[in-house]
Amino acid sequence: MSERKRVPIPIRVEPGADLPAAERTAVLEAVNRHRALEGALLPILHAIQDRLGWIPPRALPLIAYELNLSRAEVHGVVTFYHYFRQHKPGEHVIFLCRAEACQAVGAVSLAAHAKRALGTDFHGTSGDGRYTLEPVYCLGNCASGPSLMIDRELHGRVTPERFDQLIGAGAAGAGAA
Ligand code: FES
Protein backbone atom coordinates (compact mmCIF):
# COMPACT_ATOMS: atom_id res chain seq x y z
CA MET A 1 0.00 0.00 0.00
CA SER A 2 1.46 3.32 -1.06
CA GLU A 3 1.91 6.00 1.52
CA ARG A 4 -0.09 9.15 0.95
CA LYS A 5 2.01 12.24 0.65
CA ARG A 6 1.36 14.77 3.39
CA VAL A 7 0.59 18.24 2.13
CA PRO A 8 1.73 20.90 4.57
CA ILE A 9 -1.05 23.15 5.75
CA PRO A 10 -0.02 26.78 5.23
CA ILE A 11 0.17 28.69 8.49
CA ARG A 12 -1.52 32.05 8.28
CA VAL A 13 0.62 34.71 9.93
CA GLU A 14 -1.40 37.61 11.22
CA PRO A 15 -0.20 40.91 9.69
CA GLY A 16 2.02 42.74 12.14
CA ALA A 17 2.41 39.71 14.41
CA ASP A 18 6.19 40.17 14.31
CA LEU A 19 6.02 43.81 15.45
CA PRO A 20 7.17 44.61 18.99
CA ALA A 21 4.12 45.22 21.20
CA ALA A 22 4.74 48.96 21.65
CA GLU A 23 5.05 49.50 17.90
CA ARG A 24 1.99 47.41 17.17
CA THR A 25 -0.03 49.42 19.69
CA ALA A 26 1.20 52.72 18.19
CA VAL A 27 0.26 51.59 14.69
CA LEU A 28 -3.20 50.37 15.67
CA GLU A 29 -3.94 53.53 17.64
CA ALA A 30 -2.93 55.68 14.67
CA VAL A 31 -5.06 53.56 12.33
CA ASN A 32 -8.09 53.66 14.60
CA ARG A 33 -7.82 57.41 15.11
CA HIS A 34 -7.68 58.27 11.41
CA ARG A 35 -9.21 55.39 9.45
CA ALA A 36 -12.51 57.21 8.88
CA LEU A 37 -10.78 60.09 7.08
CA GLU A 38 -10.71 60.28 3.33
CA GLY A 39 -7.12 59.50 2.30
CA ALA A 40 -6.43 58.11 5.76
CA LEU A 41 -3.04 56.65 4.88
CA LEU A 42 -1.02 59.88 5.08
CA PRO A 43 -2.38 61.07 8.44
CA ILE A 44 -1.83 57.56 9.78
CA LEU A 45 1.78 57.52 8.63
CA HIS A 46 2.38 60.97 10.15
CA ALA A 47 0.86 59.85 13.45
CA ILE A 48 3.06 56.75 13.51
CA GLN A 49 6.22 58.71 12.76
CA ASP A 50 5.31 61.36 15.37
CA ARG A 51 4.94 58.62 17.94
CA LEU A 52 7.77 56.23 17.01
CA GLY A 53 10.14 58.51 15.12
CA TRP A 54 10.00 56.25 12.05
CA ILE A 55 7.79 53.89 10.07
CA PRO A 56 8.98 50.36 10.88
CA PRO A 57 8.96 48.33 7.64
CA ARG A 58 7.32 45.47 9.54
CA ALA A 59 4.35 47.78 10.20
CA LEU A 60 3.46 48.04 6.51
CA PRO A 61 1.57 44.73 6.23
CA LEU A 62 -0.52 45.65 9.28
CA ILE A 63 -1.34 49.12 7.92
CA ALA A 64 -2.22 47.61 4.54
CA TYR A 65 -4.44 44.96 6.15
CA GLU A 66 -6.26 47.48 8.35
CA LEU A 67 -6.93 49.88 5.46
CA ASN A 68 -7.70 47.16 2.95
CA LEU A 69 -4.87 48.32 0.72
CA SER A 70 -2.11 46.29 -0.91
CA ARG A 71 1.30 46.24 0.74
CA ALA A 72 2.70 47.70 -2.47
CA GLU A 73 0.40 50.72 -2.18
CA VAL A 74 1.50 51.45 1.38
CA HIS A 75 5.15 50.85 0.52
CA GLY A 76 4.81 53.17 -2.49
CA VAL A 77 3.58 56.05 -0.33
CA VAL A 78 6.18 55.53 2.40
CA THR A 79 9.02 55.51 -0.10
CA PHE A 80 7.64 58.39 -2.20
CA TYR A 81 7.77 60.92 0.65
CA HIS A 82 11.32 61.42 1.90
CA TYR A 83 9.90 62.76 5.13
CA PHE A 84 8.94 59.25 6.20
CA ARG A 85 11.90 57.62 7.87
CA GLN A 86 12.40 53.90 7.28
CA HIS A 87 15.27 53.53 9.74
CA LYS A 88 15.09 53.99 13.45
CA PRO A 89 16.48 57.47 14.24
CA GLY A 90 19.01 58.42 16.91
CA GLU A 91 17.96 59.76 20.29
CA HIS A 92 17.73 63.26 18.79
CA VAL A 93 16.98 64.44 15.28
CA ILE A 94 18.74 67.51 13.86
CA PHE A 95 16.84 69.16 10.99
CA LEU A 96 19.28 71.41 9.18
CA CYS A 97 17.84 74.00 6.80
CA ARG A 98 19.14 73.77 3.25
CA ALA A 99 16.85 76.35 1.67
CA GLU A 100 18.10 79.44 -0.14
CA ALA A 101 18.01 82.11 2.57
CA CYS A 102 20.00 79.94 4.95
CA GLN A 103 22.37 78.87 2.20
CA ALA A 104 23.16 82.53 1.55
CA VAL A 105 24.39 82.98 5.11
CA GLY A 106 26.49 79.88 5.68
CA ALA A 107 24.24 76.83 5.73
CA VAL A 108 26.43 75.02 3.19
CA SER A 109 29.53 75.15 5.36
CA LEU A 110 27.42 74.46 8.44
CA ALA A 111 26.08 71.30 6.76
CA ALA A 112 29.62 70.18 5.90
CA HIS A 113 30.69 70.79 9.48
CA ALA A 114 27.67 68.95 10.89
CA LYS A 115 28.39 65.92 8.70
CA ARG A 116 32.03 65.88 9.80
CA ALA A 117 31.21 66.35 13.47
CA LEU A 118 28.58 63.61 13.47
CA GLY A 119 30.45 61.33 11.11
CA THR A 120 27.39 60.84 8.94
CA ASP A 121 25.71 62.16 5.84
CA PHE A 122 22.14 63.43 5.69
CA HIS A 123 19.59 60.77 6.65
CA GLY A 124 22.25 59.02 8.73
CA THR A 125 22.88 58.64 12.45
CA SER A 126 26.05 59.31 14.43
CA GLY A 127 28.03 56.27 15.47
CA ASP A 128 26.92 56.54 19.10
CA GLY A 129 23.26 56.59 18.07
CA ARG A 130 22.66 60.04 19.59
CA TYR A 131 21.96 62.20 16.53
CA THR A 132 20.24 61.70 13.22
CA LEU A 133 20.91 64.42 10.64
CA GLU A 134 18.08 65.38 8.28
CA PRO A 135 17.86 68.11 5.64
CA VAL A 136 14.85 70.37 5.73
CA TYR A 137 13.74 73.08 3.34
CA CYS A 138 12.91 76.17 5.40
CA LEU A 139 12.03 76.21 9.06
CA GLY A 140 10.30 79.58 8.82
CA ASN A 141 13.26 81.29 10.50
CA CYS A 142 14.84 82.74 7.36
CA ALA A 143 15.80 86.10 8.87
CA SER A 144 18.00 84.37 11.45
CA GLY A 145 19.78 81.74 9.39
CA PRO A 146 21.52 79.45 9.26
CA SER A 147 18.73 77.65 11.07
CA LEU A 148 18.35 74.20 12.48
CA MET A 149 15.98 72.42 14.76
CA ILE A 150 16.97 69.78 17.30
CA ASP A 151 13.94 67.65 17.99
CA ARG A 152 11.35 70.45 18.34
CA GLU A 153 13.68 73.27 19.42
CA LEU A 154 14.55 75.90 16.83
CA HIS A 155 17.98 77.57 16.73
CA GLY A 156 19.05 80.51 14.55
CA ARG A 157 22.36 82.05 13.47
CA VAL A 158 24.06 78.71 14.04
CA THR A 159 27.80 78.78 13.43
CA PRO A 160 29.94 75.62 13.44
CA GLU A 161 31.08 76.56 16.95
CA ARG A 162 27.49 76.96 18.09
CA PHE A 163 26.66 73.63 16.49
CA ASP A 164 29.37 71.94 18.54
CA GLN A 165 28.00 73.55 21.69
CA LEU A 166 24.50 72.41 20.86
CA ILE A 167 25.43 68.80 20.42
CA GLY A 168 27.90 68.93 23.31
CA ALA A 169 31.32 69.22 21.64
CA GLY A 170 32.61 65.82 20.72
CA ALA A 171 29.73 64.09 22.47
CA ALA A 172 28.61 62.48 19.26
CA GLY A 173 31.91 60.58 19.28
CA ALA A 174 31.36 59.66 15.70
CA GLY A 175 34.86 59.96 14.39
CA ALA A 176 35.09 63.63 13.59
CA ALA A 177 37.87 64.30 11.13
S1 FES B 1 15.53 79.36 4.48
FE2 FES B 1 16.25 78.48 6.31
S3 FES B 1 14.67 78.92 7.71
FE4 FES B 1 13.90 79.66 5.84
SS3 for 136? Answer: strand
Measured distance between the N- and C-terminal CA atoms of the chain, rounded to whole angstroms:
75
Quick: pLDDT tens for 126-165.
Answer: 999 999 999 999 999 999 999 999 988 999 999 999 999 9
CA of 84 from ligand 1 middle (Å) equals 21
Does ligand 1 lie within 6 Å of residue 101's CB atom?
Answer: yes
Per-residue pLDDT 10s for the chain (177 aa) are: 556 777 777 666 788 888 999 999 999 999 999 999 999 999 999 999 999 999 999 999 999 999 999 999 999 999 999 889 999 999 999 999 999 999 999 999 999 999 999 999 999 999 999 999 999 999 999 999 999 999 889 999 999 999 999 998 444 444 433
Q: Is the CB of 132 under 6 A from ligand 1?
A: no
What whole-number distance in Å separates Cα of residue 164 and Cα of residue 129? Answer: 17
